[in-house]
Amino acid sequence: MDLERNAMDMGNMPALLLVDMINGFTNSACSLGSDCPDVVAANAVLLSEFRRLGLPIFYTTVVFHNDDQAKVFRGRIDALNQLTPDSNWVKVDPKLAMQEGEVLIEKQWASSFHQTDLHEQLQACEVDSLVVTGLTTSGCVRATVVDGLQYDYRVFVPREAVGDRNQDAHQANLFDMHAKYADVISLDEAIKHIRRSQGK
């Protein structure tokens, strides 16, 4: 039986959080990645809207600087060892290139919050809700969404703007996030929520 849940209104200061929209995940030439042009395009739409409204934008990337970082995680998935500071794989996809004033958070684990200063930076911008996008739905997106809720942010996931190498995992995690942790909505609905939050 499904849980009863209440839909949330977006707060007064939503932030866009693009989780790991980096070359290593948006390019199938990397063993961690998959070709996902539709997900990239949906993220570009959201970036344009947040920039137009002057709202905060944060990106994440995964970078391992030494062998002591995330040893168990990397021991499970050898491909993660490609994500070094000098690698092109850790750079933001050029179709979603950062602009001045936008923030890049380096992380070593799945959640964008774990052992980073993301929460502190969001608080400095007076953010009260998050639009979470990126890759992958069943991994870093889900971990970030769960932690976002645990930091008391209202979390929204535009379904067109997230993706996964495994479609079964993608759909199952969208269902589960919507049931418990976030409002999973369409891209069009997300744009309407964002504009409404700013009285536009």
Q: Are the C-beta atoms of 113 and 148 separated by less than 8 Å?
A: yes
Q: Is 4 left (phi over 0), alpha (psi -120 to 50) or beta?
A: beta
125 is an active site residue = no
Cis peptide before 133 (omega within 30 of 0): no
Single-letter amino acid code for the residue at 174: L
Beta-carbon count within 10 A of 112 CB: 28
Provide the sign of the torsion angle of the four alpha carbons 117, 63, 159, 166, taken in this order: negative
Other Cβ atoms within 10 Å of 131 Cβ, number: 28
Residues 30, 36, 125, 140: which is the catalytic one? 140
- The whole-angstrom separation of Cα 161 and Cα 36 is 10
Q: How far is residue 154's CA from residue 148's CA, in Å, rounded to a whole number? A: 8
Measured CA distances, 36 to 22, 43, 67, 168, 187 (Å): 12, 11, 30, 16, 16
- Catalytic residues, by residue number, are 140
